[in-house]
Structure 1
């Protein structure tokens, strides 16, 4: 065939696109190039594997190479696409020291993102991990497993056995540093704390999860402290000290001895293969795309953690690398390539995270400075209400922050934290954002009520009622 659909990247966006295209256009040749050996794995499940709640590393896999082959997709692992020639309609692929040119009819760049670790001096020492790969998760769990405990045998998974064995032979660490208090940092604090380590979390801002707002951050900080995590807030990590292995974290004000470290300061999009291709990048550094995932070059698409999307609140391009965004965009592009143009959908940055028993959610724009930059006049209110009827057992305080535009009353975003099914309530706010709802309209939503599930006035409705009063008053 002369017009194969070529996909670069064998994870969420890439395989979603390849699978959907093959289902809808079974005669179309679909080729997926994957740089590594791992495909279709759950990044978000890694902290829970390290903790031990997920028993086997293989449980994090969605598709095996055999599953992909059964779908009629030509999957080529250990094949790195190093260049794109959009004029010629080819990609340059390296494998086993050889370089070949592969023509394409349509091309999807779904190369994901990589963990940022070069911003921390000493992050290359032994005992330092970035939880962004299956091999790193396997090695860290091996490091944490005491002698005599049954290790994960991995079966026929493509694990870096040499790296795992090297850590399995070492005494488990007694203490660990976590550099960064975002999603990964908070989840790893729970994972390592549950393993009995003395955990130190270092965060540059005044509270963890800064994108979730002050109320959530302060609640999470209190929860982490209650579980024995030592917080070093407003603390800039200068380096990780030691010889071959990490021995201490050095900040602008202290030196803290540790036996291991996890660096979770963020990710950056993988776009190097597009250098010289003429494919435009957005202000974020990720690939600029339209509502169908198309780049500025004919027949070239991008999706997942390497691509921008349109923000549901501002209407402007934004980069928020999350799992659903990647899967949804990949599936839409697969349909488009197969002949049914399908928008990839807007994003609102909707996310949830767990910190021990605290459940946290956020969506849209909460930060006032960012809201003003987008042309809004932000106003916020924070309330705390019960998660169930007061007489029904099992309830807990739920704190909700809502932000709106004072002039129009339009809902801009929100955040939620609590211990009783708090996080899932964020979906109500995300849905309202997609519909451009005002706070008054949010207040009038007909949400379900029964004592085991919610009070008559759900905490989301209480927050909307209070914020609407501020706007109208």
Structure 2
């Protein structure tokens, strides 16, 4: 009798694991329980659906449930919620199709993701107040904007979602105000990036409110005002709350699966929890940071897909590490790209035992004589004693994907001098002779001497 691999959660980590495990061992019974109806979807594309650049919500689905069942032979059961895990008996309790039943497993993956944080504001239940973290929410926002044609939109939170939704709703004709309680937007990207993005948002007509905390929303059934902590209020016909996400850990915690220091599920290098045959991956789980070597929680799509795929191999007899993370991320802010990787915060670097040194340079994305050159700003951080790179950021109208060079260097343990001497490609349509990343590394290397 073949083993049974049960997966809880049908998005990036879960479906990557299920697909890989079935490819590696066609005789393995693979069962996926997903409480919703959507699986394997591109959550990062939802703001662009609301904006109108993606025609249909279904276009964001990478693989349909039918293809998983018919082509990949995965027993995918949508509309089924796992409500309990018993690691000692190796069973899960499931509710679906109007019944409750138990399912045994030989291997279990918890890939239940994260949920949008909803602060304890007044008025979050008003019509027109949304978070955007799943497909149904994206559909509801698009329908509301289409039907109501709001004149004034309020975005609460200046992270990825806030920036992307400001662009989306502006494109839909709304006057957009963005409220951020911290001094800058895109806080993990550092001040050099934030300053450039903030100036550009204002140029695009976004009414930016920094150092401004929101306390709630007013309206008679439907939102019409955003209330600030100082007692002032501003008009709003639609509100997007995008203040971050929290890992979904209740199911695991109730089962005795240990949480880590970040509040997400603790895992080893193979994605295992404190139970040898129970794994966790994706937005609900920790991963090891490549710079510090310590657990971290950075919920991003590639992290989830990669970890799920590795676990799919491990459960079929080929132990495969899930891989370290650097927190590499990129966001589009109207005409700008902003990207970051590793550790940019110097206080965090010191807490990790480093003596951080940083530089920020402004350069051109191509030679000045070549058409289309744009200003680009690169920040690099390194450890004074070892010269090892700790992190970096890039912002500009083109070339933000240069962050991948820095991320690769972090995974290789590269020093600033080694990065400076890296043989990168050059041709005028693509970069100057000294790519801006190399120039930043050259300046940083000199500062470390």
TM-score (norm 1): 0.93
1:266 maps to 2:267: no
Aligned to 2:157: 180
DSSP 3-state at the match of 2:221: coil
Aligned to 2:122: 121
DSSP 3-state at the match of 2:251: helix
How far apart are residue 134 of structure 1 and its match?
Answer: 1.1
Aligned to 1:156: none
Instruction: Answer whether contact 2:40 2:64 (CA < 8 A) is retained.
Output: yes
1:220 maps to 2:197: yes
In structure 1, how many angstroms separate the alpha carbons of the residues matched to 2:396 and 2:215? 34
Aligned to 1:231: 208
How far apart are residue 120 of structure 1 and its match?
Answer: 3.0
How far apart are residue 327 of structure 1 and its match?
Answer: 0.3
Taking the TM superposition and a 5 Å limit, the aligned residue runs for 1:61-460 are 61-69=61-69, 70-145=71-146, 168=147, 171-253=148-230, 254-420=232-398, 422-460=399-437
- Alignment coverage as a number of residue pairs: 447
Aligned to 1:35: 35
CA RMSD of the aligned region, Å?
1.0
In structure 2, how many angstroms separate the alpha carbons of the residues matched to 1:80 and 1:273? 11
Instruction: Answer whether contact 1:381 1:401 (CA < 8 A) is retained.
Output: yes
In structure 1, how many angstroms separate the alpha carbons of the residues matched to 2:4 and 2:228? 52
In structure 2, how many angstroms separate the alpha carbons of the residues matched to 1:429 and 1:121? 43
How far apart are residue 304 of structure 1 and its match?
Answer: 0.4
Moved more, 408-417 or 97-106: 97-106
In structure 2, how many angstroms separate the alpha carbons of the residues matched to 1:246 and 1:255? 12
In structure 1, how many angstroms separate the alpha carbons of the residues matched to 2:45 and 2:120? 25
DSSP 3-state at the match of 1:339: coil
Instruction: Answer whether contact 1:3 1:103 (CA < 8 A) is retained.
Output: no
Instruction: Answer whether contact 1:207 1:217 (CA < 8 A) is retained.
Output: yes
DSSP 3-state at the match of 2:446: helix
DSSP 3-state at the match of 1:359: strand
In structure 1, how many angstroms separate the alpha carbons of the residues matched to 2:233 and 2:162? 19
DSSP 3-state at the match of 2:276: coil
In structure 2, how many angstroms separate the alpha carbons of the residues matched to 1:81 and 1:285? 21
How far apart are residue 298 of structure 1 and its match?
Answer: 2.1
How far apart are residue 2 of structure 1 and its match?
Answer: 6.2
How far apart are residue 272 of structure 1 and its match?
Answer: 1.2
How far apart are residue 243 of structure 1 and its match?
Answer: 2.4
How far apart are residue 204 of structure 1 and its match?
Answer: 1.1
How far apart are residue 123 of structure 1 and its match?
Answer: 1.7
Instruction: Answer whether contact 1:404 1:412 (CA < 8 A) is retained.
Output: yes
TM-score (norm 2): 0.98
Aligned to 1:152: none
Superimposed CA distance per residue, residues 427-453 of structure 1 (whole angstroms, 9 cap, x where no aligned partner): 000000000111111111101100000
Superimposed CA distance per residue, residues 148-198 of structure 1 (whole angstroms, 9 cap, x where no aligned partner): xxxxxxxxxxxxxxxxxxxx4xx3211110000000000001101111101
In structure 1, how many angstroms separate the alpha carbons of the residues matched to 2:11 and 2:253? 22
How far apart are residue 62 of structure 1 and its match?
Answer: 0.5
Superimposed CA distance per residue, residues 183-226 of structure 1 (whole angstroms, 9 cap, x where no aligned partner): 00000011011111010000011121111010110111111110
Moved more, 450-459 or 135-144: 135-144
Moved more, 269-278 or 407-416: 269-278
In structure 1, how many angstroms separate the alpha carbons of the residues matched to 2:214 and 2:403? 33
In structure 2, how many angstroms separate the alpha carbons of the residues matched to 1:386 and 1:355? 19
Instruction: Answer whether contact 1:278 1:297 (CA < 8 A) is retained.
Output: no
Taking the TM superposition and a 5 Å limit, the aligned residue runs for 1:2-81 are 3-69=3-69, 70-81=71-82
Which blocks of at least 5 consecutive residues in structure 2 are unaligned?
none
Superimposed CA distance per residue, residues 395-433 of structure 1 (whole angstroms, 9 cap, x where no aligned partner): 10110011111111110000000002x211000000000
